[in-house]
Chains A and B, each alone.
Chain A
Amino acid sequence: MTAEQLAALKAEVNSVAATAGGIIDAVDPGLVPFVVIGRAVAATAPDLVNDVEKWIESIKSGKDPTDEENAVLSDKIASLMHPETL
C-alpha cells in the first residue's frame, strides 16, 4: 500500500468514525493503526469485512471472548488444515 493510499484510508476511517459518533476518538490512539490495517485487509479479504467495527467495540468492552467467538475462531483454525477448500 502506498503512502497516498494509506492517507486516503485514514481519511476514510476518520470520516466513518465521525459519522459513527467519533468512535475512533473514544478509543486509545494505539488502536487506530489496527483499524486502518483492518480496513485495508477488509478491502481484499472478505472474511474481515464485518470484523473491524466489532473489534473496536469488543476491545473497548474489555470483556473476554464469548464461547461463540471462541468457537468461530476454532472453526477458522481448523479450516487451515484444508487450504485447498479456502
Chain B
Amino acid sequence: MAVSVGLVACGSLNRNLYHAETLAVDGVRGGTHTYNAWLATQTNTADTNALAKLYRERDQVYGKVRNFGALTKTVDNLRLSYATNSANTNLTALQTGVTALESQSQDIIDEITAAMSGKPIPWPQTP
C-alpha cells in the first residue's frame, strides 16, 4: 500500500497540513491493523523458533509505530501552534516534520509488507 503525501496549494495551510497528517496516520493505523490480524493467524500455527522470529519482528514494527506516533504528536502540536500564532511558529520545522511523517509512514508500510510476505526484513537480526 503506497501512501503519498503532499501539500496542495489551495485552502488553508492548517487544513492542508491536517490532511497530510491524517493520511499518514490512517495509513499506519490501517497497515498495523492488517499486520495484527495477520500476526494472529501466524502465531496460532507457528513452531517455537518461528514464534520467536514473529515476536521479534512484531516488537520492531511496534517500536517504529510508536516512534511515528511520537513524531506525529510533535508535528501536530506545531500545526496547532501555527494555527494559533503563525508568527511565532517555525513553519520550516513544521513542513519538514510533515515530510518526515510521509517517509516514516512509508517505511512502516514497507516493513509490514515485507514481514507479511516472509521476505528478508531490512532490520538488525539477532545472532
Contacts and interface: CB of A to CB of B under 8 A. Distances in A.
Are A and B subunits of one complex? Answer: yes
B65 A83 contact: yes
B21 A41 contact: no
Contact of B1 (A41, A60, A63, A78): A41
Given A77-B69, A80-B72, A60 B11 contact: yes
B11 to A, nearest CB: 4
A63 B19 CA distance: 12
A44 B37 CA distance: 13
A62 interface: yes
B51 interface: no
B26 A45 contact: yes
Contacts of A86: 29, 32-33, 36, 65
Given A59-B19, A64-B15, A84-B36, A77 B6 contact: no
Nearest to A65: B18
B30 A80 contact: no
Interface string B25-53: 11111111110100000000000000000
Interface in A7-48: 28, 30-31, 33-34, 37-38, 40-41, 44-48
What are the 10 closest A-B residue pairs judged by CB atoms, nearest first? Answer: A45-B30, A80-B69, A83-B65, A62-B11, A86-B32, A65-B18, A83-B62, A64-B14, A59-B11, A47-B26
